[in-house]
């Protein structure tokens, strides 16, 4: 089963409370402590400070006195579950690290966290081995330090929180879609426009619940926006840079499938067959060799930008294309130039 990239909103537990008629005046943080299991006072106060708690749809302070019929809404990172994760001595490509966070460059083929069918060899197993006392969240699943994910076969950058405050701060940036994320993808065909925006609700496919689909009328799924720019037009395939305005499951893969340009070798969304070019046996053999060079969907999370939780400074990280995508690109460039 393919691992799914989650919507940022799903990284949160959401609560909506209407204060009881007989409730005496009490501080907001104290009220939430009484009402929310598994939430520490620090976690609640951090959430209030970061605007993740609202009273009557307005951000307020921890000292606000809750009164009857107030409507309190809360969006906080999920609490930890009981039970451990097996630490594994798996090497990590750490791009940056300080006391609050680290940025890792995940290789293609590595699942981000343990789930059914993938209990070992995940990024989380490696994190638990290399770093102790990472914060966790998600009721029912332990995910030390994770504030976002990328698919198993997608390579690239992930930011990991090393303490509760950093986790809440970073999670809010994902929740607000203020994180800057750039992906490079190799897609089938020539795009009509060199720059553009793909907009369309994404939800579970009605025909196959394991995959996602676009619902242009907005009747199903969640609003999703992908901005793209063509970097290289190679007739049969194109290298595109994608910036996510939202973070939906399989967003880039689903959006490009929707406009008729599936990612190269994306077996889930139809990119693992010849979609552009001739059916001559020599060309078929060439494309087959390309599939072998990059035996996964050609997608890389190339850059990541966010505000540091403690310093308040904007931080930007960038990586080179991994070898398989680089070799694939060079092979297509050589093919087109020699035609």
Mean pLDDT by 10 residues, the chain (339 residues): 41 76 87 78 83 88 90 73 68 93 94 68 83 57 72 94 88 86 97 95 84 88 94 97 90 96 96 91 95 97 96 96 97 91
> Is 19 within 8 Å of 67 (Cβ atoms)?
yes
- The two most distant CA atoms of the chain are separated, in Å, by 80
Locate 15 and state its tokens.
Answer: 């609560």
Locate 314 and state its tokens.
Answer: 């904007």
How far are the Cα atoms of 19, 55, 72, 76 from residue 26, in angstroms, in the given order?
11, 13, 13, 21
- Cβ atoms < 10 Å from Cβ of 68: 12
> Is 152 within 8 Å of 112 (Cβ atoms)?
yes
pLDDT for 9: 52
pLDDT for 4: 33
pLDDT for 81: 41
How far are the Cα atoms of 2, 152, 300 from residue 114, in angstroms, in the given order?
13, 11, 21
- Cβ atoms < 10 Å from Cβ of 165: 19
How far are the Cα atoms of 3, 169, 204, 249, 296 from residue 208, in angstroms, in the given order?
15, 36, 8, 14, 21
Let me know if 176 is a catalytic residue: no
Strand partners, 315: 306
Given the residues 7, 29, 70, 151, the one annotated as active site: 151
Sheet holding 58-59, edge to edge: 12-18, 71-77, 53-55, 58-59
pTM of the full structure = 0.76
**Number of Cα atoms under 13 Å in the Cβ half of residue 194:** 4
């Amino acid at each position: 089963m393919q691992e799914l990239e989650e919507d940022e909103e799903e990284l949160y537990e959401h609560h909506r409370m209407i204060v009881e008629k007989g409730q005496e005046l009490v501080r907001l943080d104290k009220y939430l402590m009484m009402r929310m299991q598994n939430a520490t006072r620090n976690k609640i106060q951090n959430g209030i400070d970061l605007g993740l708690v609202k009273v009557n749809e307005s951000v307020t302070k921890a000292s606000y006195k809750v009164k009857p019929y107030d409507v309190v809404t809360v969006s906080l990172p999920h609490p930890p579950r009981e039970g451990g994760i097996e630490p594994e001595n798996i090497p990590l490509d750490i791009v940056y690290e300080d006391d609050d966070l680290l940025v890792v460059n995940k290789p293609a083929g590595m699942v981000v966290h343990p789930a059914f069918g993938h209990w070992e060899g995940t990024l989380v197993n490696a994190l638990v081995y290399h770093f102790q006392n990472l914060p966790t969240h998600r009721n029912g699943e332990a995910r030390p330090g994770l504030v976002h994910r990328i698919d198993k076969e997608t390579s690239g950058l992930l930011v990991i929180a090393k303490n509760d405050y950093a986790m809440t701060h970073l999670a809010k940036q994902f929740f607000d879609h203020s994180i800057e994320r750039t992906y490079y993808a190799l897609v089938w065909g020539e795009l009509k426009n060199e720059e553009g925006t793909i907009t369309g609700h994404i939800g579970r496919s009605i025909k196959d619940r394991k995959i996602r689909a676009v619902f242009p009328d907005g009747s199903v799924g969640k609003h999703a926006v992908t901005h793209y720019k063509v970097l290289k037009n190679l007739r049969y395939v194109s290298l595109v840079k994608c910036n996510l305005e939202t973070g939906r499951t399989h967003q880039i893969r689903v959006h490009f499938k929707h406009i008729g340009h599936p990612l190269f070798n994306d077996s889930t969304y139809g990119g693992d067959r010849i979609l552009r070019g001739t059916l001559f046996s020599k060309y078929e053999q060439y494309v087959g060799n390309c599939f072998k060079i990059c035996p996964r969907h050609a997608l890389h999370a190339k850059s990541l930008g966010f505000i540091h939780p403690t310093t308040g400074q904007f931080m930007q990280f960038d990586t080179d294309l991994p070898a398989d995508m680089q070799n694939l690109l060079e092979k297509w460039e050589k093919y087109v130039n020699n035609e």
